[in-house]
Amino acid sequence: MDELALLSEATRLLGAAFGSRAALYARIRRGTLFAVHVGKHWYIPRVEIRRLKRQAALHQKKSMPALTLDFPDPANQELLASVSIAKRGRAALEAQAFLRGTLRARLRRMYPDLSPREITFKYFEQVARND
């Protein structure tokens, strides 16, 4: 089991970058962190730990600028106005389809034993809860 690490060991390896053991467990429950439950323990693949370390390093390198809410840029508004309504609608529908597929894929990872129909029900439950 060299390629797997206990959840507590993963917490120690990641340090303060991802908070506590509870924060990692919350990621597992949300389906954003792959882990295996064996007996009473959760194991995280070392590949996932390395990915999280890279993610933390990249996040530290990027200093996020403060969010400012400015008035809309007139040039950008003109550019958007020049695009036809059909193209804007198509782009919105494609974005919606992408989001729907992403949510369904996450639910399939969280509940691998469910049928596609049950995944659809879970999807609608999640959308209704607005998670």
Predicted model pTM: 0.44
Decide if pLDDT at 131 tops 60. no
pLDDT tens by residue, 81-99: 888 989 888 988 999 999 9
How many Cα atoms are found within 13 Å in the side-chain-facing hemisphere of 42?
A: 17
* Residue spans per domain, the chain: 4-60, 84-129
pLDDT tens by residue, 13-30: 887 766 688 888 888 888
Decide if pLDDT at 8 tops 70. yes
Helix or strand (DSSP H, E) at 42: strand 41-45
